[in-house]
Copies of this chain bind each other. A is one copy, B any other.
Amino acid sequence: MSGGEFDLIAWIRQHSTPAGIVRVGIGDDCAVLAPEGPGELLVTTDMLLDGRHFRLAEHDPADIARKALLVNLSDLAAMAGIPQAAVVAVALPIDAPGGPQRLGRALHAALAQAASEYSVVLAGGDTNAWRGPLVLSVTLIGQATPPGPVLRAGARPGDVLFVTGSLGGSLLGRHLRPSPRVAEGVALRRELGVQLHAMIDISDGLAVDLGHILAESGGLGATLEAEAIPTHRDAVALGAEDGRSPLEHALHDGEDFELCLAVEAAAADRLADGLFADRSLALHRIGTVEAEPGLRLRHGDGRVEVIEPLGFDHFRPTPGVSP
């Protein structure tokens, strides 16, 4: 088996220790988890593909591996979940520079580092080599923050909408190095309890992802205040290149990996910027949920514009890096 799969697995295993809720980790037929308490478990999975979500020829394997975990952490953050364990399936290109083993080790080292930063234990996986492009598929398991997971469904007319951070232009490079708002999701749930009605992470663009909240909450609508939507400096830079406004980028670009949430109006004023341990991260009040379906944008001059969702469609047959 020299140079083979078992060498890589043995190496990964030497660099992994069961911890947290993981009782048996890498190296058996299944991982064995012993969750604390009787609470609900959250499970999410995301697959990253060379040529679709990244380019192995251009991007650092460490960034690629980190992103594979971080996008899952962002999904977990959207439910206010507390990360616990992950399993990773990988298909390594047999013709990778330096060989698949070397690439496998580089990916694992970066995954392990990212896992450690977010208190995730790498509990198991499946390692393959093939003649195709690099594929990384991560499944993340977490536990819910009391009083339970925050769903997309649950927004009500009158709720106030917030987003964390600022939006747009992630294509300039930020999309490869997300900062999933895990601690922020948990802090919001702890602060607001059941007054936090609905939450989602922004992966397909604010308009599309807020649209999911509104649709899942029974076909509601919302009006956003154009001047309140936080545009990232990358949205400005990208707009200068492509002629679209920073606001358009903030509304429609994908892979911001910020949180969008609907909060009971009576609780909205409680949400001060000081809620997050990272004081540089702001919480922006961007609009209001309404009974009337549709997504509307109110400009500073009072003009109201209907927004059509234009977010990233993973089936669009355009090659290249999303969004």
Contacts and interface: CB of A to CB of B under 8 A. Distances in A.
Contacts of A127: 314
Interface string A43-56: 11111011110000
A79 B128 contact: no
A82 to B, nearest CB: 12
A8 B313 CA distance: 11
Interface in A76-103: 76, 78-79, 81, 85, 87-91, 94, 100-101
Interface stretch (A34-42, A218-226, A298-306): A34-42
B313 A6 contact: yes
B30 A317 contact: no
A278 interface: no
A139 B142 contact: no
Contacts of A128: 47, 49, 52, 314
Nearest to A92: B315
Given A32-B149, A42-B31, A47 B314 contact: no
- Interface centre among A42, A45, A81, by most B CB within 10 Å? A45
A131 B200 contact: no
Contact of A152 (B29, B94, B152, B313): B29
Nearest to A317: B94
A38 B34 CA distance: 8
Contacts of A314: 4-5, 127-129
Interface in A104-145: 123-133, 135, 137, 139, 141-142, 144
A28 interface: yes
Given A128-B52, A216-B27, A316-B4, A41 B47 contact: no
Nearest to A125: B45
A87 B45 contact: yes
Interface residues of A, number: 75
A221 to B, nearest CB: 18
A125 to B, nearest CB: 6
Contacts of A216: 27-28
A319 interface: yes
A213 to B, nearest CB: 10
Given A43-B87, A44-B87, A89-B45, A131 B51 contact: yes
Interface of A: 1, 3-6, 8, 23-24, 27-35, 38, 40-47, 49-52, 75-76, 78-79, 81, 85, 87-91, 94, 100-101, 123-133, 135, 137, 139, 141-142, 144, 149, 151-153, 200-201, 216, 309, 313-317, 319
29 contacts: A3-B315, A4-B313, A4-B316, A24-B151, A27-B216, A29-B76, A29-B79, A29-B201, A30-B42, A30-B44, A30-B81, A32-B144, A32-B151, A35-B35, A35-B41, A41-B41, A43-B139, A45-B88, A45-B89, A45-B126, A45-B139, A49-B130, A51-B131, A52-B128, A52-B131, A87-B139, A101-B315, A129-B315, A131-B319
Minimum-distance CB pairs A-B, first 3: A47-B89, A137-B137, A139-B139
